[in-house]
């Protein structure tokens, strides 16, 4: 019965650490001694004892990883709603985005990088250049264009065999 549980767990697990734990327990149940298992799996005697105890107390659930990662602060639906909201106008400030997420979703990110990633996902550049130069004088620009007209179009040098 235990061997079948361990076999199924080893076949279905995708995590190397879980497989190593189950293999150590399985080898122990097959009659291998700690001294034989340790060099084969590269584990300590304490490792084998710990996972044997966990297996007999909780079954294969005792061999599973305890930490499964954290859940994102905004789920996919909320992120999509934020993207839709960001697309309602062309320019934003970081404070507007922070305030909106805090008031609507009750989320405050620890790092500003999370807000920048939302801007990027919405294709909003937060370092955007001005569309027009406020100091631009049309007459001065025309004078410079005439002065440097030869710099704008440079001819390619002709090769010797081309005529």
For the chain, report the end-to-end CA distance as a whole number of angstroms: 90
Burial (CB < 10 A; 0-12, 13-18, 19+), residue 97, is buried
Q: How far is the C-alpha of 134 from the C-alpha of 131, rounded, in Å? A: 9
- Residues whose CB falls within 8 Å of the CB of residue 124, separated by 6 or more in sequence, listed in order: 86, 92
**What is the structure's pLDDT at 96?**
87
Q: Give residue 152's pLDDT band: very low, low, confident or very high (50, 70, 90).
A: very low
Return the SS3 of 161.
coil
Q: Give residue 161's pLDDT band: very low, low, confident or very high (50, 70, 90).
A: low
**What is the structure's pLDDT at 123?**
82
33-54 average pLDDT score: 94
**What is the structure's pLDDT at 27?**
95
Q: Give residue 153's pLDDT band: very low, low, confident or very high (50, 70, 90).
A: very low
Q: What is Dmax (Cα atoms) for the chain?
A: 94
**What is the structure's pLDDT at 148?**
56
Q: In the 8-state DSSP scheme, what is residue 68? A: -
**What is the structure's pLDDT at 147?**
62
What is the average pLDDT value for the chain, to the nearest integer? 82
What does the buried/exposed string (b/e) look like for 125-160 if buried means 16 or more CB atoms within 10 Å of the residue's CB?
Answer: eeeeeeeeeeeeeeeeeeeeeeeeeeeeeeeeeeee
- Whether residue 24 contacts residue 37, with contact meaning beta carbons closer than 8 Å, is answered with yes
- Whether residue 97 contacts residue 104, with contact meaning beta carbons closer than 8 Å, is answered with no
% of the chain surpassing 90 pLDDT: 41
15-19 average pLDDT score: 91
């Amino acid at each position: 019965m235990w061997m079948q549980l361990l076999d199924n767990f080893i076949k279905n697990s995708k995590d190397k650490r879980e497989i190593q734990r189950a293999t150590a327990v399985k080898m122990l149940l097959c009659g291998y001694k700690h001294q034989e298992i340790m060099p084969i799996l590269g584990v300590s005697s304490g490792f084998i004892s710990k996972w044997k105890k966990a297996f007999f107390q909780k079954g294969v659930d005792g061999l599973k990883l305890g930490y499964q990662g954290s859940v994102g602060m905004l789920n996919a639906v909320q992120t999509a709603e934020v993207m839709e909201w960001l697309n309602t106008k062309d320019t934003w400030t970081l404070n507007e985005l922070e305030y909106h997420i805090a008031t609507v979703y009750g989320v405050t990110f620890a790092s500003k990088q999370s807000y920048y990633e939302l801007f990027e996902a919405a294709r909003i550049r937060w370092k955007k250049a001005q569309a027009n130069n406020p100091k631009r004088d049309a007459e001065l620009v025309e004078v410079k264009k005439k002065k440097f007209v030869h710099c704008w179009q440079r001819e390619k040098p002709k090769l010797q065999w081309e005529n």
